[in-house]
Chain A
Amino acid sequence: MPTIEKESLIGKRVPKMDAPEKAAGRTRYVHDMNLPGQLIGKILRTDRIHAKILSMDTSAAEALPGVKAVITAKDMPAKMLGLNNDNPPLKGDKVRAERDEIAAVAAITEEIALEALKLIKVEYEDLPTLFDPRESEKEGAPHIQESKDSNVCMEFEYEHGDAAKAETEADFVIEDTFKLHYVTHACMGVSGVIADFDNITGNLTLHSNTQVPFLHKREFSEVLEMDPSRIRIIQPPIGGGFGSKLDIYPFEPIAVILAKKSRCPVKIVFTREEEFMASPTRQPAYINLRSGVKKDGTITSRVFDSLLDNGAYTSWGATIPFVMMQTASSFYRVTDCQYATKAVYTNNPTAGSFRGYGNLQATFAIEQHMDKMAEAVGMDPLEFRLKNAQEAGEVTGQGMHFKTCGFKECLSTAGEKSDFSRKFAENNANRGNGNPVKKGIGMASMLHVGGGAKIYPSDGCGTILKMDDFGHVTILTGASEIGQGSETVLSQLVCEELGVPLSAVTVVNNDTDITPWDVGVHASRTTFIGGNAAIGAAKLAKAKVLESASQVSNIPADQLDMRGGCIVRADDGEVIMQLGKLLRGMHFKDKAELVTTSFYYEPPSVHQDKGFKGDVSAAYAWATHVVEVEVDTETGIVTLDKVTAAHDVGRVLNEMSLEGQIEGGIIMGQGYALTEDLLVKEGRVITPNFRDYKMVTAPEIPEIDLSFIETQDGEGPQGAKGVGEAPSICMAAAVGNAIYNATGVRIYEAPYTPEKVYRALKGAVEAPSMAAE
């Protein structure tokens, strides 16, 4: 009899399953779909920033031939969107920001819809505006959300130990204030939705780009005052997420109400300008840090205070202080920590969730602050970090338990491979030479959740697995695919259990009527949580198949295995029978259902307490990036030459897609550090296009040297941790440190554009301050 060796796809370079059709241009995104009888929806946005709406006249728009529905706030249910319940999908009484939606039209063509918008007449009374978050929090500032007591929309305070007392034991106290800017996701596929409301049955089908279909189903039911069981969300392939699709935005309920009123499916797709102006941003921030350090390099205390610009409405992204807090309290061994973040309302663009979730801002500050502390005590930045870095087994003051931790290995690997310490000293020594182009090297590290994140009541994912007559496996998973490759890695994990080739697997992951519940694709959780759920279902299926094979073959089940689409003897791989043949024989026999269900949620009982103490994730990811730059002191141009990155990934599951995630994150971080700057002037986005909002292009990418540290997390699927957000997090801090190494000038404000760097080198950039002038 032939034999089959055990083969594994784990760690291999497995191509993304949907790549062939995407590269062939066959994939149909929501932009490419059209339903029969579909209308085009367009949104009227205010031309004011902060104003009372006195009157609105839509009669001329309604009379325009080809217009099928015109809606205003009075057509919408009363429930508002957002974490603070403060964002009416259509604004009726008042507008608070440039993007504010005040009316919408559905028409038979886009031209007619746009024409109708022009016919809507609105009268306003302007109100005083607030564009500086430092002014917003002041006593007596005008209220942007008039129903709230103040402009503070979210406030987090946390402490462990006694930071004030610990500070008195320090030999040096370092205090800095940093400032972070606006950036936006700039997904290549713009926002869009098709709302298909069947007025006969009352059923609503949404073709939606959401990253969190099951949470949205619930929120839609509240916002639309609908029975949630009538709502079906189908996700066509998504042209980029990065956190931008974690909230329901006004355009989505607007499309539904237009569809209800017109009795036709309605499609709304943004223009790129709308995407820049009316989709979320990363929170701009002021961060003040004060840390004590002893002469031997031991950190004694840390006080972290920050102020976030929330914009006029509150997204889920307003919970980023959860993540910032963890970087302040637990990234390094800090025995005494005091933390505070305030997010305040302004008339600026609304901030949301964005890959890294507050950690780019917190890490920008903390990792540059670390370099200043190292300098104060006369230590090399690498040595200083190694002295204070967390290790496996530690439970932090905040209560985070690092069961695996590759932080020190990340530091030493990236440090050694880049020859950090030698180059750092050499660049320091070369600062004073006559060459106008200075070389700099800088490092920054990061801690992020790598095993889910318990910010919702549940952080689980379900899987249904079915096997057909021919040994083909279908995985129905709640875990969404946004381009990151979840369908491929889930399939690899199932193949590992069932011994079938990847070609024998189909993944269904995009329909709330079919797939089991999941909390959504965010927090770098899908491989970890969705992966463990898929493994659970595959193990159940394997047990059933082997039990049946045992009955047929009279070989005990524990001596059998599944390999190469066959049942084999486990010890020598001898083929006993074809899997498909066995499965066909199992039809309608007792206990032979070939559908298994499983879920993963670990550990369901652990949550942070009210004081934010406790674990937020089943595992934590670590990374160190070393960047090498050239600073042209005559032009201020900073060129990023090389990135040496080491990531604790638990275990490599798919080497190629892992590299792809890390590389993509590094370049996104490069943009945050150097080029991307969503400029907002008096509440208006003045860079709403790719000419003025500068994304990194192919010729500008650095050489990248990646290392993966495999710490084999005991709870991770095959030992893996989540890494989706990690690579974008520490780039800006590392670049800031490298510019300092090159020039001796510390620039406390990102991004490091040529103008800013040039001015800073001339001493013409003032250090940011938490207090407004």
Chain B
Amino acid sequence: MSANKKMLTREINFTLNGSPVQVSVPVAENALIMLREELNLTGTKYGCGEGECGACSILMDGESVNACLMFAVDCDGREIVTVEGLAQDEVNDQLRDAFVEKGAVQCGFCSPGMMIAAKALLDKKPNANRDEIKRGLEGNICRCTGYVKIIDAVAAVSGTNQ
């Protein structure tokens, strides 16, 4: 693709953090770039760009997905929630408070993705046990915490000690 050539774009409509948005995106652009650069939602992080680390996790129709692996145009017609969207809804305060109170955050770079993965898990399995929590977070890499305190935080919300 020549840099001078105007990139082919498409207009898409979707729900973002509860509000309708209309945006024109290059067809080859991924959803992570759209969120971070076009919509200035920088809570969703670039960690690898290949779907291996989970730093860019977002909710699409309630499922946790890697934004870096999705074309932006695939958001068309979907309901997308980013970490900023979680923060807008007080129903998620308990999860965020648990991350804080249980020490789940160190450098914090994986935290938004972990919050999304935890939210997706707890929506499906509100009483998830520790093994289920570990499985639910396995697509998200953390270099600082060794995961123990992240699992503790999710377990505090699911009410399990097992």
Contacts and interface: CB of A to CB of B under 8 A. Distances in A.
Contact of A699 (B1, B2, B112, B138): B138
Chain B CB within 10 A, most for which of A24, A186, A188, A690: A188
A241 B144 CA distance: 9
Given A23-B105, A189-B109, A660-B106, A697 B50 contact: no
A676 to B, nearest CB: 11
B100 to A, nearest CB: 4
Nearest to B43: A25
Interface string B39-67: 00011111111101101000000000000
Given A25-B44, A695-B141, A240 B109 contact: yes
A23 B104 contact: yes
B106 A690 contact: no
B45 A189 contact: yes
Interface in B82-117: 82-84, 86-87, 96, 99-112, 115
A426 B4 CA distance: 72
Contact of A668 (B4, B111, B146, B148): B146
A483 to B, nearest CB: 3
A279 interface: no
B143 A15 contact: no
13 contacts: A19-B103, A23-B112, A25-B111, A25-B115, A29-B45, A66-B3, A115-B3, A272-B50, A484-B106, A664-B143, A667-B145, A690-B50, A701-B148
Interface in A635-690: 656-657, 659-660, 663-668, 689-690
Nearest to A24: B87
Interface centre among B43, B109, B137 (most CB of A within 10 A): B109
B128 interface: no
Contacts, number: 187
A188 B103 contact: no
B107 A239 contact: yes
Contacts of B144: 188, 240, 483, 660, 664
Contacts of A696: 146
A238 to B, nearest CB: 6
Interface in A206-254: 237-242
A272 B49 contact: yes
Contacts of A20: 96, 100
A148 B43 CA distance: 47
B13 to A, nearest CB: 24
B145 to A, nearest CB: 5
A295 interface: no
Contact of B138 (A13, A116, A698): A698
A25 B87 contact: yes
Task: Please provide the 3 A-B residue pairs with the shortest distance between their CB atoms, ordered closest to farther.
Answer: A25-B43, A483-B107, A22-B108
Contacts of B34: none
Contacts of A22: 105, 108, 111
A485 interface: yes
A696 B53 CA distance: 11
B150 interface: yes
Nearest to B145: A664
A241 B133 CA distance: 27
The secondary structure that dominates the B interface is loop
A423 interface: no
A243 to B, nearest CB: 12
A1 B48 CA distance: 60
Nearest to B139: A697
A65 interface: yes
A5 interface: no
A32 interface: yes
B45 A188 contact: yes
Interface of B: 1-4, 36, 42-50, 52-53, 55, 82-84, 86-87, 96, 99-112, 115, 131, 133-135, 137-151
A112 interface: yes
A16 interface: yes
Given A697-B141, A698-B134, A659 B103 contact: yes
B143 A695 contact: yes
A199 interface: no
A239 B148 contact: no
A64 interface: yes
Contacts of A25: 42-44, 82-84, 86-87, 111-112, 115
Nearest to A706: B148
A691 interface: yes
Interface string A692-709: 000111110100100000
Contacts of B46: 31, 190
A643 to B, nearest CB: 10
Given A31-B46, A65-B4, A663 B109 contact: no
A266 B142 CA distance: 29
A109 interface: yes
Nearest to B136: A698
A27 interface: yes
Contacts of A704: 146, 148
A18 interface: yes
B98 to A, nearest CB: 9
A26 interface: yes
A365 interface: no
B102 to A, nearest CB: 8
A15, A19, A696 interface centre (most CB from chain B within 10 Å):
A19
A664 B150 CA distance: 11
A28 interface: yes
Contacts of B112: 23, 25
A24 B103 CA distance: 14
A271 interface: yes
A308 interface: no
Nearest to B103: A656
Contacts of A699: 131, 134-135, 138
Interface in A1-55: 13, 15-16, 18-20, 22-29, 31-32
A179 B140 CA distance: 31
B25 to A, nearest CB: 14
B116 to A, nearest CB: 9
Contacts of B109: 29, 187-189, 239-240
A111 interface: yes
Given A190-B47, A704-B148, 16 more contacts: A15-B101, A22-B108, A25-B44, A26-B43, A26-B87, A32-B42, A64-B3, A188-B141, A240-B109, A242-B143, A659-B148, A668-B143, A690-B50, A690-B141, A699-B135, A704-B146
